[in-house]
A = this chain, B = another copy of it.
Amino acid sequence: MATIRDVARRAGVSIATVSRVVNEQPGIRPETRARVHDAIDELSFRPNAIGRSLKAGTSRVLGVMVPTLANPVFAEAVEGLQHEARKAGYGVMVTTSDYDADTERAAVETLMIGRVDALVLTVRDAADAATRAWLDAIDRPVVLIYNEPGSRPTVTVDNAAAGAAAAEMFVRLGHSRLAVVAGSLTGSDRSRARWLGFANALQAQGCPPPVKVEIPFHQTDLGQAIADLMAGDAPPTGLFCSNDLIAMRTMAALRELGLGVPGDVSVMGFDGIATCRLLHPSLSTVSQPSRTMGEAAATLVLKELAGGVAEPFTILPHRLVEGGSVGPPPRAAQRGPTTSPTERGVPST
């Protein structure tokens, strides 16, 4: 691996001159420049970013942490972020936290040791005291994405309003008994915000508060949870899921139970994962512009690195996508408690 010194020797100049040529600084005789370029080519010299970083005190690397890349929402955001970063000549170091608070902290610590110039993070709960503590202690630009706005610049959608919009859609169609199926209602700030917006809007419309169902992160089969939920006397006619992945699994579980969507139960998701539009019935969902969020976060953080000051928060527009998974409630449900909606209905408790 050739160093600047090798190039200098070969070209018969000093390392300072080579550096100037490499960085395209003015004040080099064309002839000298050519000689240096030749040497660079001959040795296929690539300036060592580490040496450069050490001197410059900057690594030109962005650190990114998301809960998981297995959820396309985050994967797409990272993709957008990465594109934007590359355009600006920045690299992107990626870590995942698996929705675990301790892992979050450790992962960010690792990124900081890696000397990233700035961070783009999604944490479980930006309002959590412990999280805020270490978050506020970070001495570099930080931008949060997907989290609820707090002490750090944040790029997100209006989760409460989005939850309310979902509620209003259900109510408009005639639903009143609703449930929320969430990954971790207690732990995740955005999930909580969606829930709150949803529940408040329902209350405003005079509906009873929605039932809550919480699903542990790693549980992929929702069969039991959904069966339990639908087993009561007056099961919900509409389910608001805290993300599309859960919504898909919920639909699969309902199908297992012999319940039709949206005939017996309506299902609504959150995120707007592309593949969910291809389901049958296609999933109604609140879509957020993931890729754009990643791009916006990159732009924001790069701006801050360039000496600018980042907006405290950027709220991107969400969009209610009306798919086929939401329809009016079944007739029976409108009259109150009834028998199982289908012949294969689950036994009542």
Contact = CB atoms under 8 A, between A and B. Distances in A.
Interface of A: 1, 46-51, 53-54, 59, 61, 68-70, 72, 75-76, 78-79, 82-83, 86, 91-96, 107, 110-115, 139, 220, 245, 248-249, 251-252, 255, 273-280
B110 A96 contact: no
26 contacts: A1-B139, A49-B113, A50-B50, A50-B53, A51-B54, A61-B93, A61-B114, A69-B69, A69-B75, A69-B76, A69-B79, A70-B274, A82-B94, A82-B95, A83-B96, A91-B114, A92-B93, A92-B94, A93-B93, A245-B275, A251-B278, A252-B277, A255-B280, A275-B276, A278-B279, A279-B280
B95 A93 contact: no
A114 to B, nearest CB: 5
A91 B110 contact: yes
A214 to B, nearest CB: 20
Contact of A54 (B54, B68, B92): B54
A82 B96 contact: yes
Contacts of A280: 255, 279-280
Contacts of A113: 46-47, 49
A96 B70 contact: no
Contact of A278 (B91, B252, B277): B252
Contacts of A278: 248-249, 251-252, 279
A275 B248 CA distance: 8
Contacts of A112: 46
Contacts of A279: 278-280
A275 B111 CA distance: 31
Contacts of A46: 112-113
A70 B75 contact: yes
A252 B96 CA distance: 32
